[in-house]
Amino acid sequence: MENKNLVVGAGFTGAVIARKIAEELDEKVLLIDRRNCAAGNSYDYKDKETGISVHKYGPHIFHTNNKEVWDYLSRFTKWHYFFLKPNAVIEGEKVTLPFNLTTIRELFSPKMADRLEEKLISNYGYGIKVPILKLKENEDEDLKFLAEYIYENVFKNYTTKQWGLKPEEIDPTVTARVPVYISHDNRYFQDKYQGIPLNGYTKLIEKMIDHKNIELKLGVDYKELKEKDFKRIFYTGAIDEFFDYKYGELPYRSLRFDVRTLHKEFYQKTVVTNYPNNYDFTRITEHKYFLDEKSDKTIISVEYPEKFELGKNERYYPISNPENQALYEKYQKEAEKYPNLHFCGRLGGYKYYNMDLAVEKALELFKSLS
Position 226 scores a pLDDT of 82
Where do the H-state alpha helices sit in the chain? 12-24, 67-74, 101-107, 110-124, 132-135, 141-150, 156-163, 172-175, 201-208, 239-242, 322-335, 345-348, 355-368
Among candidate residues 338, 369, 365, the one with its CA nearest the CA of residue 15:
365
- CATH 3.40.50.720 in the chain, residue ranges: 5-38+209-251+319-368
Q: Are 210 and 28 in contact (CB under 8 A)?
A: no
Q: Are 152 and 90 in contact (CB under 8 A)?
A: no
Q: What is the mean pLDDT of residues 220-239?
A: 93
Q: What is the mean pLDDT of residues 308-312?
A: 94
Q: Are 347 and 253 in contact (CB under 8 A)?
A: no
Amino acid letter for position 246: K
**Other CB atoms within 10 A of residue 153 CB:** 19
Position 327 scores a pLDDT of 98
Pick the CATH number of 5-38+209-251+319-368 from 3.90.190.20, 3.10.330.20, 2.60.120.1570, 3.40.50.720: 3.40.50.720
Q: What is the mean pLDDT of residues 267-273?
A: 98
pLDDT digits (tens, 9 = 90+) for 344-361: 999 999 998 999 999 999
Give dist(CA 354, CA 11) in Å, integer: 12
Among candidate residues 137, 117, 237, the one with its CA nearest the CA of residue 184:
117
Position 313 scores a pLDDT of 96
Q: Are 185 and 85 in contact (CB under 8 A)?
A: no
